[in-house]
Amino acid sequence: MTEAPTPLPPPPLPARVEPDRLRELDPASLDAEADRLAAVERATRTSMAPYERQLREIRARREEVATERRRRERADRHSARVAVREMAGSTELPSLAAALLAEPSPLPDDRPLAAVRAFLASGGEVGFGYPSRPGSVGFTDGRQLRNAASWGEARRLYADGWEPGAPGANGVRGVRVHLSGTRVERVVGLEEVLVDLR
């Protein structure tokens, strides 16, 4: 590890002229005091220049490291999405609609929905429900609303003809999901959610 260079001392400041003394100075003396301070400021800036150049270089290099990290993260996310899309046509990742109707049940009935891994067909991993209240799916028969918190409850409601969503003519239909690890949520169709059965 390279040792940091010992910083040079700043240029010396001239003695301070107290405010009461400044009032007694004639215009020429006041100008002279301003010139002395300006000269020390210039000398200080000159002595700082190598450090400012080094700071700019350090910031630029840190941004390069951050750029490479972002590139890797984006490449990893892209690879994960490609893998999900490739598995979407397999029995490992059926749509939520197909999995709910499958016989026998591909998952234990007592498994909490919070423990079921799911993905959007576009590839992002999601959790069921709101980010603040994860692990449930609302079903409606058009008038009532029931929240399923387990795989078995969701299967029973869906088999009975209930649809994911909210009741009423203006009720939003679909499965409410949130992107894993975020507070971003959306409502999507059953076919847009893929369930990991591995």
The predicted structure's pLDDT at residue 44: 85
**Mean pLDDT to the nearest integer, 97-109:** 90
Q: What is the pLDDT of residue 15?
A: 83
Does 198 score more than 80 pLDDT? no
> What is the mean pLDDT of the segment spanning 127-137?
92
- Is the pLDDT at 116 greater than 90, yes or no? yes
For residue 72, give every residue at least 6 positions away whose Cβ sits within 8 Å of its Cβ, in sequence order, or none.
Answer: none
The model carries a pTM of 0.55
> Do residues 113 and 150 touch, judged by C-beta distance below 8 A?
yes
Average pLDDT, the chain: 84
Higher pLDDT, 144 or 76: 144
- Predicted local distance difference test score (pLDDT) of residue 168: 72
More confident residue, 146 or 74: 146
Mean pLDDT of 89-115: 86
Helix (H) and strand (E) counts in the chain: 4, 8
Residue 85, pLDDT score: 55
118: left (phi over 0), alpha (psi -120 to 50) or beta: beta
**Residue 95 and residue 88: Cα distance in Å, rounded?**
8
The pLDDT score that the predictor gives to residue 86 is: 59
The residue assigned the tokens 């795989």 is 151
pLDDT in tens, 3-41: 666 667 778 888 888 888 888 888 898 888 888 888 888
**Which one is predicted more confidently, 79 or 42?**
42
Summarised one tens digit per residue, pLDDT across range 135-161 is 999 999 888 899 999 999 999 999 988
Structural domain spans, the chain: 19-88, 96-195
pLDDT for 74 beyond 70: no
What band does 111 get if pLDDT is binned at 50, 70 and 90? very high
Question: So what's the pLDDT on residue 7?
Answer: 66
